[in-house]
Structure formats: C-alpha cells, structure tokens
A = this chain, B = another copy of it.
Amino acid sequence: MEIRIGLVGAGWMGKTHIKAFINAFINFGPKYGKPVFETVSDVSAEAAKNVCKQLGFSKWTTDWKEVVQDERVHIVDIATPNAFHYEVAKAALENGKHVYCEKPLSLSAEQSIELAKMAKQKGVVNYVGYNNVMNPANAYIKDLVQSGKLGQIIGFFGIYSQDSLLDPNLPITWRHINKYSGSGALGDLGSHILSVSQFILGNIESVIALPKTVIKQRPVSPGSLELADVENDDLITILAKYENGAVGTILASRVAPGRKNYLTYEIQGTEGTVYYSLERMNEVKVYFTSDNSADRGFRTVFLGPEHKGYSAFYPAAGIAIGYNDMKVLEAHELLSAVSKGTPYICDFEFGAKIDQTVSAILESAAKQNWINVRNKGGVTI
C-alpha cells in the first residue's frame, strides 16, 4: 500500500516534513504503507521544482488548489506561512483529505475551532505540527505527572526564548505583521510551550499577559533606510491559572540574547519537580522528595529505551536524538493514524485549544486584565 502525500509550502518545514516521512518509514516500516510524494506546490516555482527533484515528488505546481483537489493525494501537508493554513486546510477537508498542518493551526481561535469541527465531522486524520510533545522526554514527563510520582501539581514555569530576531538590522517579515502571523513571539514560540503545557497539565483557565515590542521598527528590506512598524510582541510574559488548580508563568521571546532554542519548563508537584530544556533535549532533570535526604538531588536522566519513542532510534541510553527526530515521531503518528486508525494527541481540536489560549492572552494584554480561556472564539466541541 502507498500513502500519497501532497505538500503545500516547500520551505524549511515543508522539506523537514518530507524527510520525516522518509525516516519514519525507514525506522518503523514496513508497519504501514510507504509514503509516496505526489505533488508539491509553492508560490515560488523554483522552490517547488527543487523540492520535487530533491525529495522525489512526481510533479510540482504553483497552485495549491491542484494539491487539495488531486484525487491521488491521501494527505495534504500544509507548511506555508501561518496566514494560509486556514484556507488550504479548509479546502483540503472539503475534498475529504487527511490534513497535516503546521502550527499554529490558523490565525484565530474562531478559524481553528471551525477547522477542528469540520475535521471531526469529515472523519479524517487531522494533525497539527506541535512536535515538541513528541520528544520522548515529554512523554516521560507526562508519565511522571499523570502517575502521581510528583504528587499534586502546583506549578508550571515555561519559557521559549530565542535570539533569532534580536538584530535590529534584520528586515521586517510576515512574522512582524499581524494579518500574516496573528501575533509575534507568542504565536510563533509561545504556542509551542503552551502545547507541552496543555499536553501535560490540561487546559488553562485564565491568563494575564504583559507584552513588549523591543525593536519597534525594522528596515523594509535588508540594508534599507526605510523603516516599517513591527506590529506585535518581541517578548511576552504571562501568568496562568490551570483548570487543575496549578499556577504558572510563561515567557516567550524572540529577542533573548544567547538563548538559541531555549524551550524550557519546570513542573513542581508536592512530591517532586521535573525540568526540561530543548537545548539539551536528551536529558530530563527530576527530583523526588521520597529519596533519602542525604542523597537527594535533581537527577539528570538521559533518554533511553525506557522512554516512549526513543528505541525507534537507538538500542541504548544516552545516544543523542536530534530535533528532526521529533518530526520523525510526528510523521510516524500520522502514518499510523492514516493506515491503522491509531489515536494521537495533536489533532485540530488540540490545536484549537492552544489558539484559544493565545486568543485569551492577546485579549488580556490589550485589556491589562485577567481573561478566561474557555470558549474564546467559540465552543470547541
């Protein structure tokens, strides 16, 4: 059997997806049908053509509609900038396709809820690319939390900081304009930390946020003296109350000097604490109050075969997986779901719930007040 894939958006993430499908198959196959690359589309003909050749697609196009309408395509894979996710996903669903969409699902809670409902109704596989939940580290941490090993959960303290947009000479892009991006560091980076937070602790009840735009204007193009306004948050700090009674702080920044891929979080319970950083994605620090007090301290646990997902890559502990391997595990979830109907986490509803939190955060920042998350943009189910 073949699982035929059509790709919309042949940039970094588009290529990463296709490589992930290939590696999922060579690591897990032949458990399921072989992924076959049918059509790739990009507004840039060159991008589409190159990916077609390099990654073995059958054909390419500059019109994404050809992809969603292609009868041969089983999965429509969306890796365009955020603003196009909604339209493409909707059309793909209308054509009865399985849909694999990069995060965030759309630009608003409303759109995302609409897509989630539509996907449920169509009965297709619907997946949002929040790959951080796929790290075996996160599965391990979720298990620590849910098994009660950390006691009752008190707090979640999460950060996603980078310094990718610190340089004020970098020109304005779609990421700085709300109609294309929805928000700044919040949607781009904060949504990732929300994804692991909501994956592990469940929904957030209410939020209040304080955003800051550090670089208020940027050149319209590299080297230009003409400046355009940055419309959204370079960094944002958030307080959160969880439905389960925990409290939390969340920080997202694209202008944090020295922080490269600093998605970190600490979860404290009454019987232990766990800490993780994506910059050292092969280890988890965990503390148990039940350890003998003279010998008690944070343990640095290296990932190993005991942690879900790891043994797809290596037979022994401490051999580093990489960032792309999270995408491989994501592709594996998707191929399993399509070929065998197995359940998975990051469906459109999960994505919509993150967008509800994002929406409440933006409102709280605007109103300088606590805002409830539930039913932002509509009822999810």
Contact = CB atoms under 8 A, between A and B. Distances in A.
B247 A249 contact: no
Given A299-B297, A304-B293, A261 B26 contact: no
A82 to B, nearest CB: 18
Nearest to A151: B257
A268 interface: yes
Interface in A112-144: 140
A256 B53 CA distance: 48
B26 A212 contact: no
A324 B313 contact: yes
A259 interface: yes
Contact of A304 (B260, B282, B304): B260
A285 B323 CA distance: 21
A370 interface: yes
A369 interface: yes
Contacts of A314: 323
B26 A257 contact: no
A273 interface: yes
A273 to B, nearest CB: 4
Nearest to A314: B323
B369 A315 contact: no
Contact of A166 (B235, B255, B270): B270
Interface of A: 12, 18-19, 22-23, 26-27, 29-30, 53-55, 140, 150, 154-155, 157, 162-164, 166, 168, 208-210, 212, 214, 235, 237-239, 241, 247-249, 251, 253, 255-262, 268-273, 278-289, 291, 293-302, 304, 306-307, 313-325, 368-370
What 9 pairs across the A-B complex have the smallest Cβ distances? A260-B318, A322-B322, A258-B287, A294-B306, A297-B301, A297-B299, A261-B318, A297-B300, A257-B273
